[in-house]
Structure 1
Amino acid sequence: MSGQFPDLDATVPLVSAAELKARVDRDEHVVVLDTRRPDDYESWHIDGENVTAINVPFTAFMDGDDPAGGVPKALLEALPESYDAPMVTCCAKGISSLYVAEFLTREGYDIVALDDGMRGWAGLYESTPLASEFLPDEAVVRQFVRPSSGCLAYMIVSNGEAMVVDPLRAFANEYAAAADDQDASLVHAVDTHVHADHVSGVTAVADATDATALVPRGAAERGYEGDADYVDAGDELHVGDVAVEAVALPGHTTEMLGFRIGDVLLTGDTIFTDSVARPDLEEGDEGARDAASQLYDTIEDIAEFDDDVLVAPGHTSETASPRDDGTYAATLGELRKRLPAFRRDREDFVDAILDGMPPRPNNYETIIAANLGREDVDDSEAFELELGPNNCAAGE
């Protein structure tokens, strides 16, 4: 145990982020005791339908430089009557929460500590194929999800070639490995827009493979200075035996593109399965109303697609439920019924969007600058910048 905490002579097992996620996926009732400061906890923590998240700062387990005299009252009052043991402690980097786990082990609790804390949680990345019924026979599309932030990316595979959409730099190696597993070579790495919540991986993927890095043409008008080539609305990107069509979907940003393959529409940050995009991350509050009106027009355009088109978004959230196959997607017919955005007139839509925006993503201005090629950040800095919720949706 770190020298900054008393030695409690207790041994606590560590649980990996993947093991914790597996417990949640098995519908176990998991208690997660987060020992960070309340402000950090409120902005971002592990949650879920079958997760009881409790915040008791580690200082409550200390009496000066000594261990506290007993279990803090705040924890005793927050614990549910029953849950599936063991309880899991976490903090930012897994240090203070390991001390708390040792403390509670001494008090007789069945408990484990999350290895590397929330940093470990942020390093978890999973993938699941989208339903084949929406795709051409010769194509496979895998959806990648980062549970800590809800960021989604996609890999389209056909006849020995692959294309990745919205890759994260933190997981650049994952896409090459996934393509190898499909006996495919990456030929394109493309962003739907200039992201504000994570550092783009298009150039990192291209540097590590033979893929061509691509960003929307409109990024040039925002001052893009990176090394990627441009893709325009209406372009077709060929991957093996299939063509992927770029579709203009402005609103969240002016340059936003979606990508359609068969009856799957990758919508980037335009509409999600439980909400729509926020419009204020490009021009701030001053340009948000005009951007929201543009988003309204885009959603009207999306409404022209058939009900059986599968919308696969760029983000998910704690309130979104996966499909039976584990992916975060929904048919357009389902979204028409679920999202008020498809039933509002322009004025009501814009007002609802502007009234329903959460805080902006952490470090979003620096992340945008990095994704425009204006600011250099190394891999470690990029990972740190992304920690926290994505907050790219508006709760309209």
Structure 2
Amino acid sequence: MTDRSDADDSADETPSIAPEALAERLRAGDPLTVLDVRDRDEFERWHLTGEGVEAVQIPHMKFIQAQATGDVADLAADLEEPILVVCGRGEASAHAVDLLRDAGVDAANLAGGMDAWADLYVARELEVDAPATVVQYDRPSSGCLAYTIYSGGEAAVIDPLRAFTDRYVDDAAERDAEIRYVVDTHVHADHVSGVRTLAERTDAAAVVPEGATDRGLAFDAMTVGDAAERSSANPASQAQQDAAKLRIGDATLTVLATPGHTTESISLRLEGGDAETLFTGDTLFLEGVGRPDLERGDDGATAAAEQLYETLRDRILELPGETTIAPGHYSDAADPGENGTYAARLETLRDRLAALSMDEDEFLAHATSDLPPRPSNHERIVAANLGLETVDEETAFELELGPNNCAVAD
């Protein structure tokens, strides 16, 4: 189990696995026992999950006590080996690993702990039929996906995370590309948006859906209509943003209003070639559809679900079946492609997802019943993303830890 890619092979070193290697194992669904030595409240708020993962919480203090009594092996007596031990920063878990291994238990430490896991951000190229290169950014700790589209020396970033602003800037510089637009598909409730910080770092245009202003947007940003006017391509009004186009080099992004998850949600169509790519934000996922209760609460969930049903039926499902759907999130239930990216053809999702073939009454019941817990701190995250609350980097990092929970699973 031990991964020594980031470590030397000295005999006294605690065996460890790097976050990158852990991500690959979780993606493969390999059986894994995760022993979390953080306190119970930290564990319940956020812990490692995945197909094949059995997560167990035993606080570090119990290991300290067992070290004194010589009963360390008893703590792991019921656990399947090998065991991955985790904590916040990888220090308490390293101590627990050393004790377990001294007791003959096959255990390894998550290098850097859950903080390092949250910092992991993987970039992979998405296969598209367009005069552009699309990079999908994957944050395995939360399932958040973002995208950068490169064409003709220009770039647009879709749904950036504030925590990884430097990554987008550095990657664009490596490709000798100027970031022209940074776009949010909606007001996010699960992570702190990087639209403002990335725009400030690069002089790119910060672009938001028209309806973001109705939700109380409190910082300077272009609506998609304004951005389209600046590019002199099919300007859109506040009331009608469909067909607004953003030019990136030789590529074109066309806006499609897709309300339901939120009132202002949009999707972006990358045109060119024989098959288009649709960046759906939180409207349509590989394993479900967007939940309708985050903006308007339980009382407004049914009306939002009605809007989402119309969006799916009359807008997205009317697109060609070969359209590639590139979502804003994924969960443990999603299967990555051979190259590790999360995307699927629309025709595949039509066959796979029952929600896409339900009648309206079935869909409304499905979309408003048995919803998972709302994302942690979603109200403060929305306030931060509208510019109504200022949060520093450390606070932002803490606010968005944990699963996104923005989907209604199929």
- Asked if TM exceeds 0.5, the reply is yes
Query: How much has 1:24 moved relative to structure 2?
Result: 4.6
Query: How much has 1:34 moved relative to structure 2?
Result: 1.7
**Could you tell me which of 257, 260, 272 is aligned with 1:251?**
260
Inter-partner Cα distance in structure 2 for 1:253 and 1:72: 51
Matched, 1:394 2:403: no
Secondary structure of 2:77 counterpart: helix
Deviation string 1:109-161 (CA, Å, 9 cap, x unpaired) is 343322331111000000111113xx22x211111010000000001110100
Deviation string 1:327-348 (CA, Å, 9 cap, x unpaired) is 1111111111111111111111
Give the structure 2 partner of residue 315 of structure 1: 329
Residue type at the aligned position of 2:305? A
Report 1:139-154 matches (<5 A): 139-154=132-147
Inter-partner Cα distance in structure 2 for 1:180 and 1:186: 9
**Could you tell me which of 35, 43, 47 is aligned with 1:33?**
35
Change (3 A) 1:46 1:172: same
Deviation string 1:313-339 (CA, Å, 9 cap, x unpaired) is 000011111012211111111111111
* Contact 2:135–2:148 (CA under 8 A) maintained in structure 1: yes
Give the structure 1 partner of residue 22 of structure 2: 20
Change (3 A) 1:181 1:51: farther
* Contact 2:151–2:249 (CA under 8 A) maintained in structure 1: yes
Q: Where in structure 2 are there 5+ consecutive unaligned residues?
A: 1-11, 226-240
Residue type at the aligned position of 1:227? D
* Contact 1:12–1:111 (CA under 8 A) maintained in structure 2: no
Change (3 A) 1:73 1:122: same
Q: Say which is worse superposed, 13-22 or 367-376, in terms of deviation.
A: 13-22
* Contact 1:244–1:261 (CA under 8 A) maintained in structure 2: yes
Matched, 1:304 2:313: no
Query: How much has 1:37 moved relative to structure 2?
Result: 3.9
Give the structure 1 partner of residue 3 of structure 2: none
Query: How much has 1:57 moved relative to structure 2?
Result: 3.0
Give the structure 2 partner of residue 3 of structure 1: none
**Could you tell me which of 274, 279, 285 is aligned with 2:292?**
279
Secondary structure of 1:18 counterpart: helix
Inter-partner Cα distance in structure 2 for 1:31 and 1:68: 25
Give the structure 2 partner of residue 77 of structure 1: 78
Matched, 1:157 2:150: yes
Q: Say which is worse superposed, 357-366 or 50-59, in terms of deviation.
A: 50-59
Q: Say which is worse superposed, 15-24 or 144-153, in terms of deviation.
A: 15-24
Give the structure 1 partner of residue 231 of structure 2: none
Residue type at the aligned position of 1:36? R
Report 1:1-396 matches (<5 A): 11-24=13-26, 29-38=31-40, 40-63=42-65, 67-71=68-72, 73=74, 75-80=76-81, 83=82, 87-132=83-128, 135-136=129-130, 138-232=131-225, 233=241, 234-262=243-271, 263-300=276-313, 301-396=315-410
Residue type at the aligned position of 1:231? V
Deviation string 1:252-277 (CA, Å, 9 cap, x unpaired) is 10000100003100000001000111
Q: Say which is worse superposed, 151-160 or 39-48, in terms of deviation.
A: 39-48
* Contact 1:129–1:141 (CA under 8 A) maintained in structure 2: yes
Task: Give the aligned length.
Answer: 378
Deviation string 1:354-388 (CA, Å, 9 cap, x unpaired) is 11310010111100000000000011111111111
Query: How much has 1:195 moved relative to structure 2?
Result: 0.3
Inter-partner Cα distance in structure 1 for 2:317 and 2:141: 31
* Contact 1:356–1:395 (CA under 8 A) maintained in structure 2: no
Deviation string 1:88-113 (CA, Å, 9 cap, x unpaired) is 21023333322211211221334332
Residue type at the aligned position of 1:220? T
Change (3 A) 1:304 1:40: same
Inter-partner Cα distance in structure 2 for 1:78 and 1:230: 53
Query: How much has 1:18 moved relative to structure 2?
Result: 2.1
Inter-partner Cα distance in structure 2 for 1:268 and 1:146: 15
* Contact 2:73–2:100 (CA under 8 A) maintained in structure 1: no
Secondary structure of 1:371 counterpart: helix
Give the structure 1 partner of residue 238 of structure 2: none
Query: Over the residues paired in the alignment, what is the CA RMSD in angstroms?
Result: 2.0
Residue type at the aligned position of 1:236? K
* Contact 1:250–1:294 (CA under 8 A) maintained in structure 2: yes
Deviation string 1:67-108 (CA, Å, 9 cap, x unpaired) is 45323546321215xx5xxx4210233333222112112213
